[in-house]
Amino acid sequence: MIYGKKPCVRCLLEEAGRQDVSQSVKAAVDKIPDSQKTGEMEYEKRLEICRECEFLTEGTCLKCGCYVELRAARKDSRCPYKTKW
CA-based Rg of the chain, rounded to a whole angstrom?
A: 13
Cβ proximity to ligand SF4, 4 vs 21, nearer residue: 21
Q: How far is the CB of 35 from ligand SF4 (least distance, A)?
A: 22
Q: Which residues bind ligand SF4 (CB under 6 A)?
A: 49-50, 53, 55-56, 61, 63, 68, 79-81, 84
| Ranges of H-type helices in 8-54 | 19-31, 40-51
Q: Shortest CA distance to 58 belongs to which of 84, 28, 25, 31? A: 25
Q: How far is the CB of 42 from ligand SF4 (least distance, A)?
A: 14
Cβ proximity to ligand SF4, 68 vs 73, nearer residue: 68
Cβ contact 75:43 at 8 Å: no
Q: How far is the CB of 26 from ligand SF4 (least distance, A)?
A: 18
